[in-house]
Amino acid sequence: RTVYVNGQYLPETEATVSIFDRGFLMADGVYEVTSVLQGKLIDFDGHLARLERSLTELDMQKPDAFDDLVEIHRELVRVNQIDEGLVYLQVTRGSDGDRDFVFPDPETTKPTLVLFTQSKPGMADSPAAKKGNKIISIDDIRWGRRDIKTVQLLYPSMGKMMAKAAGCDDAWLVEDGHVTEGTSNNAYIVKGNKIITRGLSNDILHGITRAAVLRFAREAQMEVEERLFTIDEAKQADEAFTTSASAFVMPVVEIDGVVLGDGTPGKVARRLREIYLEESL
Ligand code: PDD
């Protein structure tokens, strides 16, 4: 694989970052994941806009190559011959060669920019999406700025491990009885024909796929309600699903052992997945 690091395209074995990089020492960094279908970037402008916002919220400089990011994405997709898959992008605050809680001087320290691709054939025609996910619910003990897409992913990783240990696929995070989001996706339930999802705030990531899916749903005259919902309400819903750049619209068929509907992906989730894949290309 060819990867990109700080202005250079290199074989992955030759790309290096300082051991003092604050991304490595302090999880002081942000990231984006953009999906690729038929060799094309999906929702790229949304991901770029959110990256800019994440950088601003953390007082992090834009990398020098910020304006070339679309070219860099396209070049990596081309050289690595990605038909279906992802482009991962990460910006960390870099380092001045020491460890300090205080941010280094932005005049002398440049952020570190890294991009690489992951090939995922069969991402659109996914067997997992045909079966639907079984999920568990766990406490949301993350920090209070989940709207910033930081690389602090230890708790979401642990959540996936807890799900795996329980024989499930993923976890939904619950705070004060209400579902915030999934470990790496936004969460939805469907009641009647109404799509219900938590509104935007600092409590959740403002998903790029979420924005697109809600737009398509409204265009298709489907009813959308952005409000809090409890995990108990979710267990009594007709269907449920999640959205993310890496899994698009993913049906949820079981929550904490409670089977939703007949235990197969619901019609609203299936329809939204279809619309999303069609409209995004
Ligand atoms: N995860 N919520 C969380 C906590 C996420 O990590 C993600 C994305 C989302 C969905 O956002 P979007 O639709 O913009 O992908 C919501 C990415 C895919 C990841 O970490 O791999």
CATH code for the domain in which residue 74 is found: 3.30.470.10
Count up the domains in the chain and report the number.
2
Residue 74 Cα, ligand 1 centroid: separation in angstroms?
A: 21
- Ligand 1 pocket test: pick from 186, 210, 242, 248 the residue with the most ligand atoms within 8 Å of its Cβ: 186
Res 36: pLDDT: 98
Over range 248-270, report the average pLDDT: 98
Q: Which residue has the tokens 């995070």?
A: 173
Over range 177-181, report the average pLDDT: 98
Q: Using CA atoms, how far apart are residues 248 and 228, in angstroms rounded to an integer?
A: 22
**Cβ neighbours for 37, distance < 8 A, ≥ 6 positions apart:** 84, 123, 124, 277, 280, 281
Res 278: pLDDT: 96
Res 75: pLDDT: 98
Residue 204 Cα, ligand 1 centroid: separation in angstroms?
A: 10
Res 281: pLDDT: 86
Q: Which residue has the tokens 């993310």?
A: 244
Residue 269, domain CATH: 3.20.10.10
Q: What DSSP string runs through 91-160?
A: EE---SSS--SSPPPTTT-PPEEEEEEEE-TTSTT-HHHHH-EEEEEEE----S-TTS-BS--HHHHHHH
Positions annotated as catalytic residues are: 149
Q: Are residues 70 and 153 in the same domain?
A: no
Q: Are residues 112 and 165 in the same domain?
A: no
Residue 184 Cα, ligand 1 centroid: separation in angstroms?
A: 5
Q: Using CA atoms, how far apart are residues 281 and 259, in angstroms rounded to an integer?
A: 33
Q: Are residues 141 and 105 in the same domain?
A: no
Residue 253, amino acid: V
pLDDT score of 261 more than 90: yes
Over range 49-65, report the average pLDDT: 98
Q: Are residues 101 and 178 in the same domain?
A: no
ipTM above 0.90, yes or no: yes
Res 171: pLDDT: 98
Predicted TM-score (pTM) of this structure: 0.97
